[in-house]
Copies of this chain bind each other. A is one copy, B any other.
């Protein structure tokens, strides 16, 4: 049976038509994230973007991950509590309109009375497990709100979110640092690693970020290098709080531009990593469909 695999996020929708073996037959994307869809219009937008796939040979089923399953989405698919494996997720998918379209729930976890959540990343993690065969260890998904997830025996046992990407954008756009930082500059690995090392001083981001101001004030670093330095400060701060004694490699899932930075920072801490991209999403939705419709 073919599968229409959809990653429907806040700002965009990405879709793939997969065959029974999980091979990608067709792919498309559109800037129709859930924020652009009026309430009640999700079915119409879905039909306009992938309706032809749904009417294709063998009447494919469809699985949708991401923010489309949030309160602001098509239908709410309540979070699945950790620890959670594919079977736990499968038990909590929510049917939409017909029994051929289902929304995948996100994951939740709680630390000391404070909840944490993910939506969409869980599918990428299960896809990475399927693609690599690595059923234990640390899975890291860089982005606006990065996720660090711990996997044991193929189940997500816990995770934490870090607002690293959003802080970088805030500081680079709206803070005093924005005047002397060129956030469009390409990565300078040396400046980035200086920032990673600086974050290890344990003085905290609130202090170290001001260093990106004074290094400019004293003419010690230019606007392009400062962007990489700030990125290093932020990612180094993330790593500072992590216990990196995971067995095996850390699995990085994301765009090359972001995963490269984590690879560099992890390598400096003596931690090996492997990297996966968008294919993890399709592999995850395919694995879930095999669990749901065996």
Contact = CB atoms under 8 A, between A and B. Distances in A.
Given A112-B198, A175-B166, A175-B170, A204 B205 contact: yes
Interface in A168-209: 170-171, 173-176, 198, 201-209
Nearest to A201: B112
A234 B112 CA distance: 18
Contacts of A214: 114-117
A246 interface: no
A199 to B, nearest CB: 10
A114 B215 contact: yes
Nearest to A165: B206
Nearest to A115: B214
B209 A241 contact: no
A145 B207 CA distance: 9
A240 interface: yes
Contacts of A201: 111-112
Nearest to A212: B114
A206 B234 contact: yes
A238 interface: yes
Interface in A119-170: 145, 160-164, 166-167, 170
Contacts of A203: 111, 160, 241
Interface in A235-258: 237-238, 240-241
A272 to B, nearest CB: 23
A211 interface: yes
Contacts of A91: none
A243 B208 CA distance: 17
A234 to B, nearest CB: 7
A218 interface: yes
Nearest to A144: B176
A217 interface: yes
Given A162-B204, A237-B206, A241-B207, A217 B115 contact: yes
Interface of A: 111-112, 114-117, 145, 160-164, 166-167, 170-171, 173-176, 198, 201-211, 214-215, 217-218, 220, 234, 237-238, 240-241
9 contacts: A112-B198, A115-B215, A160-B207, A166-B176, A167-B206, A167-B209, A170-B171, A205-B237, A206-B238
